[in-house]
Amino acid sequence: MKDTHILTMNSVGVECQELKKRYDECFNKWFAEKFLKGHRDDPCQPLFKVYQECVKKALKEKKLDIEQMEIQVLGTDNEKQPPS
């Protein structure tokens, strides 16, 4: 019997967990059924935006610096530099 259970990470905020679950389900279905067949319109974007705002709020409540997390490093001169 094939095990179809997929392990997923929890959201950073408990209050965001249900949104994450709904977004993951939407994205996985879209990716498998549409994207891989050439359809690029992502119907999950509105749900992702709501989830993203929930995560940002949870990060602020945990006093984590959101700006530091959004800095683009990959592919730049900073990629191989030690953290300051």
Residue 70 resides in a domain:
no
Domain of 19 in residue numbering reads as 14-63
Residue 72 resides in a domain:
no
Residue 77 resides in a domain:
no
Residue 73 resides in a domain:
no
Task: Report how far residue 18's alpha carbon sits from residue 1's, in angstroms, rounded to the nearest whole number.
Answer: 29
pLDDT at 68: 73
What average pLDDT score do residues 1-23 get? 80
Number of domains comprising the chain: 1
Residue 79 resides in a domain:
no
Residue 32 resides in a domain:
yes
pLDDT in tens, 27-70: 999 999 999 999 999 999 999 999 999 999 999 898 887 777 77
Helix (H, G, I), strand (E, B) or coil at 45: helix
The two three-digit tokens of residue 76, written as one number:
């730049």
Residue 49 resides in a domain:
yes
